[in-house]
Chains A and B, each alone.
Chain A
Amino acid sequence: MTKRVNITINGQPVQARAGQTVLEAATEAGIQIPTLCHHPALEPIGACRICLIEISKFQPLHPACTYRVTEGLTVETHSPRVEKARRFVLELLFSERNHYCMYCPMSGDCELQDLGYMYGLDHWIYPTYTRPFPVDASREYFMMDHNRCVLCRRCVRACSELVANHTLGMRERGAKTMITADLDVPFGESSCVSCGTCLQVCPTGALVDKRSAFMGRNVQTQRTVTTCSQCSLGCGMEVVVRGSHILRLEGAWDAAPNGGLLCQKGRFDPLYDSRARLTRPRIRRNGGWEEVDWQTALATVAGRLANIAPDRLGVVTTGAATNEALYLLAKLAQDRWPAAHLGLWQQALPVRLQPQGMLTDLPVADLILLVGADPVADQPVASFLIKRAVDRGARLVIVDDPQNGLAPFAHQHFGRTQVGEAAQIAARADRPVVVYGAELTPEAAEALIGINGASFIPLEPGVNTRAAAALGFKPASLPTNVEALLLLLGEETPGAPPTGSRTANEVFTVVQASYVSPWTEQADVVLPMATWAERSGHLTNTEGRIQTVNAAIPPTGEARPDWQILSALAEHLGQKVPSSLEELSELAQSQITRS
């Protein structure tokens, strides 16, 4: 049990936990101390001095965010002396740079502005600022306006403590201090990985998202908590929406496994997709396309599938479909066509090593052995977590080609054939964690199993390939000996369809997809599918967590969520499947977790 410490805040007795800061103890006791540089996810550094508190008349004021509680401590959080000092600090902050709100995209959502309002700062006594600072818009997705910066160093701390990328730092001294990238290069040319964590923690308009600037304040937006659908980690995130327009994505601080982190793939790329959407079902008639209603499209599919022999149906999916859709797809095929071919258009993990570890094990690992995976490219947030562990002292051993994205951070690097040597090193660690991916060979797996006391964290190559594999989908190319093909592409366009007549003429091809692609151009029936932001359901992450996806915006046009399309198709085929998402989720989940 944690030791209790008795302190007094504003005359009110408060029980704090030993080691807590005054700010933490006060917040738990419901006493609000204003802050600016403080962020719950970051180490406190007492940079801004807004949270100053009075310990005694004879001491200077201390920042509450770094001052630790001690038995008998007496604290004043809002005494006249404290309030005067805070106002003084605010006046300095406001007069130092361009903090005029009227043309700032963050006005209304700015922590500095909130403090100005809180203290009724209606003018400042210091000379009006005259020093211009540069604006750096060299990064693709967000920009840095140094004129709005209060030097709280949240971005610097986020970059090093959370993402372990250490791109950001400071240069110059005093009022000339500036946030800088690497050895003072433009952000766009730096080692920045554009994960946007700094953007998410910035309290002012210094870091601004280019896409959502001036598009709406927090009070005008809705937030949907959901799961990122871009890789197998399934990071928790919030979709910030105004009307039916997605403004931006933010990492959910309390979500596992990411704890607030997102990466460029998850935070920015999905919002910049410019591919043409499919908005209405269409069927090929007389050599041309005809847009039809859902009823007609599904009836056409059901009619054609009815005559297909039990072993002549091919079903192939990409790895991004929801648990519910994968479950329905497998069931729909197997109930009627027991010998149907269930293909997965992606690699899946060849073996599963036991005992399986979780990504949350990484912080306590003293050695991380990475085999057959490149998380920097495929699961970037996992690479952040690994680098964080390395910062804390864990050794990183990599068995892969020299191009592996984590290679610059590795203590030791072995070629793919030297997995045995790497395993020997790992076996000598106290708490080794093996992180492995789809390129793990059976021989390497053999060598790894021998590592004493190791836990094994899988990195699935596809978004939901763990669920797909559990539901019987096998990595394979297109089946050739079939009469009908049901392709669930979703938002992916895996390569190009085989040229020639096969998919176009002889094989009846149904494509369920969100975007126009060569595949949809060759199909007989195209069923428009909702995208990641428009569908609800569940995804199984690489650790086996079943995570909830919530629709943030309505589907475009007549597009429908993946599972709804399959459920309607099953109905047309006369199959009985649950019609509610809850029932379906339960069935899918029980089958996925059983295998």
Chain B
Amino acid sequence: MGKIKIATDWLAGCAGCHMSLLDIDERIVKLLEAVEFTSSPVTDLKHPPEEGVTVGILEGAISNTHNIEVARQMRERCQFLIAIGDCATFGGIVATRNLVGTQAALQRAYLESETTVDGCIPDSPELGVPLETVTGVDKVVHVDLFIPGCPPSADALFYALSELLAGRVPVVLPPELFRYD
């Protein structure tokens, strides 16, 4: 049997959850004997392969149309989707934008901020269009496992991957690894 393929990607997040993934430290060497990270924002290949992977991991909230595309593509190309971090599970810090409204947030950030000179709200067609409401990933695609945390601990991520490798599907992480902060 070949290695289990895992692809990761990030949406509206801070990369902290990926840092946590790297914080698995030397255990990642052992993990790589059984799995292959096909693509991730921190590898050369950025997009999950068309032939698909077994496990997809998404960090970050759904904040713009681009996030929706990435989430949908990952969902289509993976058998088991894990949402990691408070942003992907609940909306997280990104969702505080909901309190002021997207337009007001853009205006404040790009036009009114104290350091702005000749500001303009970015509207390049390459960019995703910001959504009115920031949500967790599960509001757009079906999620199989949620690992909250800001960020989730390396132990939590390692635990989930180890369980999956052992053929077990964790429904909810054990209390010592289940954190919101």
Interface residues of A (CB under 8 A from B): 98, 100-104, 107-108, 113, 116-117, 120, 122-124, 127-132, 147
Contact = CB atoms under 8 A, between A and B. Distances in A.
Given A113-B180, A116-B180, A128 B95 contact: yes
Given A104-B181, A117-B179, A147-B99, 20 more contacts: A98-B99, A100-B86, A100-B91, A100-B92, A100-B96, A101-B150, A101-B180, A102-B180, A103-B93, A107-B181, A116-B180, A117-B178, A122-B89, A122-B148, A123-B89, A123-B136, A128-B135, A128-B139, A130-B98, A130-B99
A100 B86 CA distance: 8
Nearest to B176: A117
Q: Is the interface of B mostly helix, strand, loop or mixed?
A: mixed
Interface string B61-103: 0000000000000000000000100100111110110111000
A477 B179 CA distance: 62
Interface of B: 83, 86, 89-93, 95-96, 98-100, 133-136, 138-139, 143, 146-148, 150, 171-173, 175, 178-181
Contacts of B135: 127-128
Q: Which 10 A-B pairs have the closest CB atoms?
A: A102-B150, A122-B146, A120-B172, A101-B180, A132-B99, A130-B98, A101-B181, A107-B181, A128-B91, A102-B181
Contacts of A129: 95, 98
Contacts of A132: 99-100
A113 B134 CA distance: 22
30 contacts: A98-B99, A100-B91, A100-B92, A100-B150, A102-B93, A104-B181, A107-B180, A107-B181, A108-B181, A117-B175, A117-B178, A117-B179, A120-B178, A122-B89, A122-B146, A122-B147, A122-B148, A122-B173, A123-B83, A123-B89, A123-B90, A123-B138, A123-B143, A123-B146, A123-B148, A127-B133, A128-B90, A128-B95, A128-B133, A130-B133
A128 B181 contact: no
Contacts of B136: 123, 128
Contacts of B147: 122
A111 to B, nearest CB: 13
Query: Which of B143, B146, B181 has the largest count of A CB atoms less than 10 A from its CB?
Result: B181
A175 to B, nearest CB: 15
Most buried by A among B90, B143, B147, B171: B90
Contacts of A101: 86, 150, 180-181
A96 to B, nearest CB: 13
Contacts of B90: 100, 123-124, 128
Nearest to B150: A102
A108 B138 CA distance: 26
Nearest to B180: A101
A120 B181 CA distance: 14
> Which of A103, A117, A128, A132 has the most B CB atoms < 10 Å from its CB?
A128
Contacts of B172: 120, 122
A130 B102 CA distance: 11
B75 to A, nearest CB: 15
B74 to A, nearest CB: 17
Nearest to B136: A123
Nearest to A102: B150
B93 A100 contact: yes
Contacts of B133: 127-128, 130
Contacts of A113: 180
A117 B176 CA distance: 9
Contacts of A104: 181
A113 to B, nearest CB: 6
A113 B181 CA distance: 10
A117 B178 CA distance: 7
A325 B102 CA distance: 65
Contacts of B89: 122-123
Contacts of B92: 100, 102
Most B-side CB within 10 Å, residue of A100, A103, A122: A122
Nearest to A94: B90
A440 B173 CA distance: 67
B77 to A, nearest CB: 22
Contacts of B171: 120
A411 to B, nearest CB: 48
A436 B100 CA distance: 55
A101 B91 CA distance: 12
